[in-house]
Structure formats: structure tokens, C-alpha cells
Amino acid sequence: MLRGPLVFLPVLGSPLAHAPVLALDLAPALRRPLDLGLEWRGKRLLGPNKTWRGALVMLAGTLGATVLLSRRPAYWRRLPPEVQRAGPSRLGLVLGAGVVLGELPNSFVKRRLGVPPGGRSRSPTGGLLTIFDQADFVPVVWLLLLPDWRMPARDALVSFVAVAAVHVPVNLIGYAIGARETKV
């Protein structure tokens, strides 16, 4: 039984928490760049869209969704026993950290390629980055889960595809409500 995709379900708490914060510009004092405005070879490390506010809200949203879902036996009992033993707080923190950390390498690469924050490149490399961007946190979560559960490679691959497939409509909804500047 594939259990990997179910492990990632609480990640939906991230955009649910982040979208209203972006749309209503809540907690503006935390809208500070993670890269502190630093540059490398004349280009920002990550860009202005990767902020402390986003990191904290996405982590908290994922953690909160994990704790809430853990109270639903129909969900929690379907997770691997190793993940259940780790507990909802640990899983939520791992997922939330993975969501935040997973975005950073992709942002760094896009800045090196001259892709503006929130923008897309029309090149073949840009197309691959766009696809990877939809589920960039899955490999990071896979690594962070290793002390608790060794997710089979097949589960990780199916999780990546499932997360990418769900991420596109989530982005479209975010664009429609004004929380995103681009559709995908």
C-alpha cells in the first residue's frame, strides 16, 4: 500500500495559512527577506519573496494541519506505523521545515538564471524548474523523515507526482484570490 502521498496531506495547511496572510498583508513586520538582501555574483541569493513571515506561517500552517488531521483516526491510522510513533508534532515540524527548506534551492537557481521572483523562464531549463517547483519540498521531506521512516522510492515518486498535481490548482486559487502574482 502506498502511504507516502498520505503523509504529505497536512502540507495543504501551508497555503491555507499563507494565502490570507499574503492577500491581507498580515504581519508586515515579518515580511523581511530570508536572504537578508545579500547577493552573490551581483544577484540576490533568494529574492524578496522568500520571507521570514512566509517561512513561519507555512511552518505553522503545516504543523497545525498535521495536529488536526492526527485527531482523525481515518487519516492517522493510514500512515506508516513509524510516522505514527513519531507523533503529529514531529511529523508537522518535519513537513513544515521541508516545505520551507525545499523552496530555497530552486529560488537560488532561478536567481542565478535571471528568473525574477514569482516569474517563470520560457527556456527548457525554466520549464523543468517550473515542474520541479510544484513539489520541490518532497525530496527534502523524504530526507528529513529518514530518522523516523524510510519512505520507499516508489512512494516518494508517487508523492512527488501527486503533490505537483495538487499544487497547480492550489496556485490557481491563490492567483484568483490575489495571494499570488502568477498563475503557476
Q: Where are the domains of the chain?
A: 4-176
Q: What is the pLDDT of residues 34-86, one digit of tens each?
A: 999 999 999 999 999 999 999 999 999 999 999 999 999 999 999 999 999 99
Of the pLDDT bands very low, low, confident and very high (cuts 50, 70, 90), residue 13 is very high
Mean pLDDT lowest among 7-11, 60-64, 81-85, 160-164: 160-164
CA 141 to chain centre: 9
Distance (Å) of CA 148 to CA 86, 108, 112: 7, 29, 35
| ∠ Cα 154 16 106 (to 5°) | 55
User: Does the pLDDT of residue 100 top 80, yes or no?
Assistant: yes
The confidence score (pLDDT) of residue 4 equals: 84
- Going by C-alpha positions, the residue among 147, 171, 161 that lies closest to residue 90 is 147
**pLDDT at res. 168:** 79
Across the chain, mean pLDDT equals 90
For residue 68, what are the CA distances in angstroms to 7, 71, 76, 83?
13, 6, 10, 15
Quote the pLDDT of residue 149.
96
**Is pLDDT of 5 > 80?**
yes
Q: How far is CA 156 from CA 14, 19, 27, 104, 131, in A?
A: 20, 26, 34, 20, 16
Q: What are the b/e assignments for 167-181, b being 16+ CB within 10 Å?
A: beebbeebeeeebbe
Mean pLDDT of 73-102: 97
pTM, two decimal places? 0.88
Q: Which parts of the chain are beta strand (E)?
A: 39-40, 43-44
Q: Which residue has the higher pLDDT, 172 or 9?
A: 9
For residue 17, name the pLDDT band (cuts at 50, 70, 90).
very high
pLDDT given at position 184: 64
78: its cell numbers: 493510514
- The string of pLDDT tens digits covering residues 110-130 is 888 888 877 777 777 777 777
